[in-house]
Amino acid sequence: MVGVVVSTACLAALLTVSALTAEAALDIVDDPRVVASDRIDVGRRFEAASCETTRPGRTILEAIPDAEKILVHQFDGEWPSFEVVKAHIRRLLSAVPEGGKLVPTVYWAEMRSAEIFGAIEFPQGKRRWFRAANGYAHLQDAAGCEWWGRYLGPDRSTWIVRP
């Protein structure tokens, strides 16, 4: 019995270290670019794309395992600096969204304008959209499948909010 508990604890620690290593390896870069619209709802689809992925990841990192970096093109003035935006994105990468996993369709009724506009860069320079708002994320994986998540804070009772 003790062996099972120790093995489980070791596996949990290994998975945590693996997630932290993947998160640390994913570079988040300030890459200012003009975005076509300054008010895009994180509930809208990016574009029509066939989705080859059938199972969502629990976290953004699980949905984009081969991503090389996230490029932040633009963020609202509500965010005081790129470093604050970067810290927020890092927190979202390994956070488990409401419902325990990312979902392939938007399921919230309220409109939420994107506050952070960016792209996820995959091998060979392929880029897919990434949008975030105060507690929300909408992204595409390498195959072009779209994923949505709504995030609660660490106490699981309040939304993840801007610092």
Residue 47 lies in a domain: yes
Residue 122 lies in a domain: yes
Average pLDDT, the chain: 80
Residue 70 near residue 123, CB atoms below 8 Å: no
Residue 53 lies in a domain: yes
Other C-beta atoms closer than 10 Å to the C-beta of 103 total 16
pLDDT value for 23:
53
Per-residue pLDDT tens for 7-42?
444 444 444 444 444 455 799 999 998 876 656 778
State the DSSP code for 96: P
Query: Which pairing describes strands 136-140 and 146-150: parallel, antiparallel, or unpaired?
Result: antiparallel
Question: Tokens for 149?
Answer: 């998540």
Q: Which domain holds residue 102?
A: 26-150
Residue 17 lies in a domain: no
Q: How many independent structural domains does the chain possess?
A: 1
Q: Which residues pair with 116 in a beta bridge?
A: 75, 132
Residue 6 lies in a domain: no
Give Cα separations from 43 to 66, 81, 104 (angstroms): 25, 25, 11
Residue 91 lies in a domain: yes
DSSP H/E element including 25: helix 2-25
CA atoms of 62 and 81, how far apart (whole Å) = 27
- Strands ordered across the beta sheet of 116-121: 27-30, 69-75, 116-121, 127-133, 136-140, 146-150
Residues in the chain with pLDDT values less than 50? 3-22
pLDDT value for 78:
87
Residue 121 lies in a domain: yes
pLDDT value for 95:
92
Residue 2 lies in a domain: no
pLDDT value for 71:
97
Question: Tokens for 119?
Answer: 């792209």
Q: Provide φ and ψ at 139, rounded to 5°.
A: -145, 170
